[in-house]
Amino acid sequence: MGLMDKIFGSKVTYPPLPAGNEAVARLDEVKAPLEELAYKVSDHMEVVPAEHEAFVFFGKPPKNFGIAWIHDGKVTGLKEFAAEHGLSPIDVGQLIVQLGEAYQHASEAPRYSAEFGGKQMVVIPSTGLEQEVHQIIANTLH
């Protein structure tokens, strides 16, 4: 990305998610809630497929972003997650910092494009990012 892209922004395009990629099967499992989320969120979305679930970064990660967790056929946003688990604003702030760092750790992971709910999304089929997000959530809950 050149200086002008950084200043004015650039719409980076990624190759389509290959049909035989394991991420396709993982995303098919969460397709309905992912499409529902796509209709609700107008921001840029990046999805990390996981086993029977997915994590969706939206906005401009790693600095200014939100995150949703698709699991058990439903979407849990950060606000709901914090309320369900009694997280303080400080806990939520630390969670966001850690998730942003995890996203940065996966900066070299391959990225692809896919469409869900009529919206183009970036797909990051990174086992490392998936595991790091899982660990951050587990550590936050204990």
pLDDT by 10s per residue, the chain, length 142: 444 444 445 567 899 999 888 999 999 999 999 999 999 999 999 999 999 999 999 999 999 999 999 999 999 999 999 999 999 999 999 999 999 999 999 999 999 999 999 999 999 999 999 999 999 988 887 7
Q: What tokens were used for 48? A: 């990390």
Instruction: Report the domain count for the chain.
Output: 1
For residue 120, is it within any domain? yes
Could you tell me whether strands 53-60 and 64-71 are parallel, antiparallel, or unpaired per DSSP bridges? antiparallel
Write down the pLDDT at residue 47: 97
For residue 45, is it within any domain? yes
Beta bridge partners of 67: 57
pTM (predicted TM-score): 0.88
For residue 77, is it within any domain? yes
Which domain, by its residues, includes 100? 21-141
Write down the pLDDT at residue 138: 87
Write down the pLDDT at residue 18: 93
Write down the pLDDT at residue 27: 96
* Upper half-sphere CA count for residue 106 (Cβ side, 13 Å): 25
For residue 117, is it within any domain? yes
Write down the pLDDT at residue 10: 52
Residue 140, φ and ψ in degrees, nearest 5: -70, -35
